[in-house]
Amino acid sequence: MCQNNNSSIETPKKRVLSCIQPSGMLTLGNYLGALKNFAAMGKDPEFECIYAVADLHAITVRQDPKEFRARILSTYALLLSIGLDPQKAIIFIQSHVPEHTQLSWVLSCYTQFGEMSRMTQFKDKSKKRPENVNVGLFSYPDLMAADILLYNPDYVPVGEDQKQHVEITRDIAARFNGIYGDVFKMPEAYIPKVGARVMSLQDPQKKMSKSDENPNAYIGILDKPEEIMRKMKRAVTDSQSTVEVGEGRYGINNLIGIYGTITGKTADEVKKEFEGRGYGDFKAAVGEAVAEELRPIRENYERFISDKGELERLYRAGDEMAEHLARRTLRKVMKKVGFIGF
C-alpha cells in the first residue's frame, strides 16, 4: 500500500533580488523603508535572497576615488550588520561581476529611445545636475534591467517610486523573449507590507535624506543613542497636543509611523498608549525605540568594518556565487543573439 508523502515535498523558494547604492551613510528612512525588510526576507525560508552593492550605478555622479572605495566597503558591511547571513544569501559587489555591464549593452540594443526618455528619475536628476547630464544617467535603466534579469528573480522589492524601473525591465525582457523565446523570467515588483516612508524630522513633507543640509533632519543608521535622542527632541510636530494621526499633521504622523514600524503597534494603539501625555514623552519614547533598534546594527558594523580581511573574504565568496549565476544567463543570451560561444 502506497503512502502519501506530499507533506514532505518542499515548495520551491522564491528568488528575491535587491540592490543598494553606496551613496553615503544610510538613514533611518533607508532602514525602515527597505533594509529592515531585506533582513526579514533573508531569514524567511520562503525566499532565496540575492543582495548587491550597486557601485556601478553610483558613478553617474562624480566620485572621489578614495571616499568611493570606503563607501562601497561601508555599504557592504552595513548589509551584513543588519542581520543578513552570507551563508544563507548571496551578498556581492556589482562591479566585481562583469556580466552586469556585458548584458547591459545587449539589452540597450533592445530598448527604445522613447522608453528611456520617459523615465521619471532621469528627468528629475537631469534637473538637479544640469551640468552633468551624462549618457550613463540616461541609460542606467538598462544596467538596472541587467542587474535583475541576470539572476532570474521572482521578486524585486522596491518602493512605489521605483516601480517604473521594474516595469521597463519587464518590457525589455518581454521584447527579448518575443524574439528569441523563453530566455528571461518576468520579475515582479514586490512592495513590502511592512515598512515606512520616513520623512524629514525638520520638514516632514519631504523624505528623510542623508543629503539634507540640516543634520537634525535625518537619523543615520550609525548614529549614537545620545545623538538620536537629541535629534528626536528637536523633531517638528505641531501646535496641537494629542498623539494621533490627523490630516495635515505631517510631523506627528511621521513620528507615529516610525514608532509603529519599530514596535509593531497600530496608530490606534499608539494613540491609546500616549493618551493624556504630551509630545515630550512621546518624542522620548520614539527616540528610545529608534536607539534600541539601531544599537545592534551599529555594534555589528564596528566589528565588521574593523576587520577588512574578513570583509574581503566574504565579498569575494559572494562575488563568486553571483558570477556563477550571472554567467549562465549571459551565455544563454549571447547564444540566442548569435554570438560565437565563449
List, by residue number, the catalytic residues.
125, 207, 210
Rounded-to-integer distance, Cα 138 and Cα 254, Å: 33
Residue 205 grid coordinates: 513633507
Nearest to 315 by CA among 7, 25, 76, 12: 76
Rounded-to-integer distance, Cα 216 and Cα 340, Å: 57
C-alpha separations of 264 from 19, 66, 270 in Å? 26, 40, 10
